[in-house]
């Protein structure tokens, strides 16, 4: 498990914010990813919430220099396999099931599994997972809740996602058990629809600066 954890951490440590994208039209994927990479955000999570998602992963993985394409909202082994086949270099799930963990165990591609309670974290630790997605972050108790897990569940690192914005990202990033946050605010629907790639690069640059 160690090497996959290292592989995942290498991706998550590239930047303080991992963009969480809902791509409605695959033709937007490449310019959108290029805009994010130009702002410093190389690891990109494309969620499997639209029919265009797998094609978007394929295009970003194949055509965007510097991008590390990942797939999110992976719910079952079929999703996992399709995302890996499309070129995903990391996989993100909102929660976990035994079937999904089994699919992940048989793959070289690392999984960032979702957890929201101490029991879920403990179960995933037992399976060898040290880096987890805390989801839905704000709704599940926010930075204060995550801070309270840092002592009893020491050694676990989180990427909180859900309800995070430029305003509250630092609350999470200042915690000792947070490696990065996931956020959709760096690629707002209206900027994507307008093809305002410069606007997205600006938001990505602001997000990248949160590391400081």
- Name the CATH code of domain 2-206 (choices 3.40.50.1370, 3.20.20.70, 3.30.420.40, 3.40.50.720): 3.20.20.70
pLDDT above 90 as % of the chain: 98
Catalytic residue among 24, 133, 147, 189: 133
Active site residue 55: no
Vertex 19 angle, CA 16 and 24, to 5°: 180
Q: Is the pLDDT of residue 212 over 80?
A: no
d(C-alpha 124, C-alpha 130), whole Å:
8
Q: Kindly report the backbone phi and psi dihedral angles of residue 105, in degrees, each rounded to the nearest multiple of 5, phi listed first.
A: -65, -30
d(C-alpha 196, C-alpha 198), whole Å:
6
Q: Is the pLDDT of residue 1 over 60?
A: no
| 163 pLDDT tier (thresholds 50, 70, 90) | very high
175 within 8 A of 199, measured Cβ to Cβ: no
Taking residues 146-161, what's their average pLDDT? 97
Question: For 178-188, what is each residue's pLDDT tens digit?
Answer: 999 999 999 99
Helix 98-105 vs helix 77-85: crossing angle, to nearest 10? 30
Q: What pLDDT is recorded for position 51?
A: 98
d(C-alpha 173, C-alpha 11), whole Å:
16
Q: Is the pLDDT of residue 148 over 60?
A: yes
Active site residue 45: yes
Q: Is the pLDDT of residue 2 over 80?
A: no
Question: For 48-102, what is each residue's pLDDT tens digit?
Answer: 999 999 999 999 999 999 999 999 999 999 999 999 999 999 999 999 999 999 9
Average pLDDT score, the chain: 97
Catalytic residue among 4, 42, 45, 58: 45
Q: What pLDDT is recorded for position 177?
A: 97
Its pTM stands at 0.97
Taking residues 15-27, what's their average pLDDT? 98
């Amino acid at each position: 498990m160690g090497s996959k954890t290292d592989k995942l951490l290498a991706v998550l440590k590239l930047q303080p914010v991992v963009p969480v994208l809902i791509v409605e039209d695959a033709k937007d994927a490449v310019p959108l990813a290029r805009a994010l990479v130009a702002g410093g955000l190389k690891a990109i999570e494309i969620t499997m919430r639209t029919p265009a998602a797998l094609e978007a992963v394929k295009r970003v993985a194949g055509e965007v220099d510097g991008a590390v394409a990942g797939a999110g909202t992976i719910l079952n082994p079929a999703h996992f396999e399709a995302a890996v086949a499309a070129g995903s270099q990391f996989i993100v799930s909102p929660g976990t099931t035994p079937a999904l963990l089994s699919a992940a165990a048989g793959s070289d591609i690392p999984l960032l599994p979702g957890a929201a309670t101490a029991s879920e974290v403990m179960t995933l630790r037992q399976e060898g997972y040290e880096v987890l997605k805390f989801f839905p972050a704000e709704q599940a108790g926010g930075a204060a809740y995550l801070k309270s897990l840092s002592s009893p569940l020491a050694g676990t690192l989180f990427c909180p996602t859900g309800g995070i914005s430029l305003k509250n990202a630092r609350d999470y990033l200042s915690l000792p058990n947070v490696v990065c946050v996931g956020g959709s605010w760096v690629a707002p629907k209206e900027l994507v629809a307008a093809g305002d790639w410069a606007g997205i690069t600006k938001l990505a640059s602001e997000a990248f600066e949160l590391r400081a």
